[in-house]
Amino acid sequence: MLPVNCGSHADYQNFVVTNLRKYYPDPSALARSTWDIIERFWNLDLSFTDTFMADKYSKFGPAPRTPSSIQRSYLLSIDFKVTSITEWAAQLKINPLYAILSGFEPGNTPGVCTFYDFINRLWNSDDDHMSPHIHSLKIKVKKPKTKGTKADSVEKVTVAELLPILENTGFKLDEQPYSSLFKIYQKEFLDVSVSTGLIHSDALALADDGTPVVTSHRERKKRICKCKENGITDCKCDRYFSQPDCDIGWDSSRDCYYHGYDLYMLVDSHFET
């Protein structure tokens, strides 16, 4: 059935106050850094997520968890530096603070599958990846000769060449599989930052940089041809890739190869710290 809306953001704030007084009557029992996180999430209104994602659930079956609570809980795991969803689900069961700040009653918290189900509902495509699983071998970057320097690019098109092409290309966000995530981000974070004066949309000073997001220590692929059985071990035939959107790269800051995604970030340099 459709998720039960837990109410307004004010209801979440009341829930947090009531349960913090119950489980943590002595405020000094929590570190100052923890109170900083509590304050951030106290002010973070995620109620738009509940209305936006309502049509992504069936009208039949058991009642699911409130989407905003799952979203909030996932963001909390990042702030508390728990990088595994499995580990975070376990921590929710044993740590009342994590459950309360998420919006869950202590002792009644979601399992691992609930988090992955929420993430899947944000992806508007039957395909799990942007690229097909079967494709040609990727060109491995060469390790630079000087430590701390960037490896030579293996891309055929540079960012400087790509941007003019994109500017003249009709881009429809609604057609992209990640459109739901972008809409939530715009409504709950970007628009709020503009309305509160944190970002001045008419006087942006953008700075950009890239960073690797490591997903595994090595490339996950397997042969789909019969070359190895025929004695050919170095064939260039297409392979099946478990993570087809990932690339092999060289991390110059850590001086090592990595397999994962390339995250390209834009920030307003007026507020860069």
Give 138-147 pLDDT, tens digit per residue.
Answer: 887 888 888 8
Check: CB of residue 186 under 8 Å from CB of residue 232: no
92 is a domain residue: yes
20 is a domain residue: yes
2 is a domain residue: no
| Single-letter amino acid code for the residue at 213 | V
Share of the chain above pLDDT 90, in %: 54
Q: Are residues 235 and 107 in the same domain?
A: no
Q: Are residues 73 and 159 in the same domain?
A: no
Give the pLDDT confidence score for residue 167 in this predicted structure.
Answer: 76
34 is a domain residue: yes
Interatomic CA distance for residues 92 and 69, integer angstroms: 12
Residues 26-53, mean pLDDT to the nearest whole number = 94
Q: Are residues 49 and 98 in the same domain?
A: yes
Q: Are residues 262 and 152 in the same domain?
A: yes
Q: Are residues 74 and 144 in the same domain?
A: no
183 is a domain residue: no
Check: CB of residue 98 under 8 Å from CB of residue 110: no
Question: Last residue of a domain, which of 83, 101, 122?
Answer: 122
Q: Are residues 145 and 63 in the same domain?
A: no
- 3-class secondary structure per residue, 12-67: HHHHHHHHHHHHCCCHHHCCHHHHHHHHHHHHCCCHHHHHHCHHHCCCCCCCCCCH
According to DSSP, residue 261 is labeled E
Residue 120 pLDDT exceeds 50: yes
Residue 2 pLDDT exceeds 60: no
Q: Are residues 166 and 106 in the same domain?
A: no
According to DSSP, residue 168 is labeled T
192 is a domain residue: no
Q: Are residues 156 and 52 in the same domain?
A: no
Considering its fold, how many domains does the chain have in total? 2
Question: Last residue of a domain, which of 122, 149, 181?
Answer: 122
Q: What is the pTM of this model?
A: 0.83
pLDDT confidence tier of residue 156, bands split at 50, 70 and 90: low
Residues 74-90, mean pLDDT to the nearest whole number = 96
Q: Are residues 83 and 49 in the same domain?
A: yes
Q: Give me the residues paired with residue 223 across strands.
A: 239
Question: Shortest CA distance to 16 belongs to which of 130, 97, 116?
Answer: 97
Q: Are residues 56 and 151 in the same domain?
A: no
Interatomic CA distance for residues 269 and 203, integer angstroms: 11
- CB within 8 A of 245, min separation 6: which ones? 129, 130, 131, 261
Locate 118 and state its tokens.
Answer: 């929420």
pLDDT digits (tens, 9 = 90+) for 158-194: 777 877 877 777 778 888 899 999 999 999 999 998 8
Give the pLDDT confidence score for residue 273 in this predicted structure.
Answer: 46
Domain that holds residue 33: 9-122
Question: Shortest CA distance to 74 belongs to which of 48, 100, 102, 97?
Answer: 102
Reported as half-sphere exposure (CB side, CA atoms, 13 A), residue 203 has a value of 5
Question: Last residue of a domain, which of 81, 96, 122?
Answer: 122
Q: Are residues 94 and 143 in the same domain?
A: no
4 is a domain residue: no
Q: Are residues 72 and 150 in the same domain?
A: no
199 is a domain residue: no
Q: Give me the residues paired with residue 263 across strands.
A: 211
